[in-house]
Amino acid sequence: MQVLSNIGIIILTIATMELLSWAMHKYLFHGPLWFIHKTHHQQRHGWFELNDLFSIGFAALALWLMWVGHIDLNYRFWIGAGISTYGCIYFIFHDWFIHNRFKAFKSNNRYLSAIRRAHKIHHKSTEKLPSEEFGLLVVGKKWFR
How far is CA 142 from each of CA 46, 119, 133, rounded to the nearest angstrom?
Answer: 33, 13, 11
Q: Which pLDDT belongs to residue 143?
A: 67
Q: Containing domain of residue 67, as a range? A: 2-104
> Considering the domain boundaries, does residue 128 fall inside one?
no
Q: In 3D, which of 142, 137, 140, 141 has the Cα closest to residue 21?
A: 137
112 within a domain of the structure (yes/no) = no
Please report whether residue 42 resides in a domain: yes
Asked if the structure places residue 76 within a domain, the reply is yes
Give the whole-angstrom CA distance, residue 33 versus residue 113: 29
Is the residue at 131 inside a domain? no
| Cβ-Cβ contacts under 8 Å for 128 (sequence gap 6 or more) | 30, 31, 34, 38
Residue 65 lies in a domain: yes
The structure's pTM equals 0.83
What is the number of domains present in the chain? 1
pLDDT at 56: 93
Please report the pLDDT score of residue 103 as a whole number: 67
In a domain, 134, yes or no: no
Res 87: pLDDT: 94
Closest to 68 in 3D by CA, of 83, 80, 86, 82: 80
Residue 138 in domain: no
pLDDT along the chain (145 residues), means of 10: 90 95 87 85 74 90 97 96 94 75 72 78 66 71 72
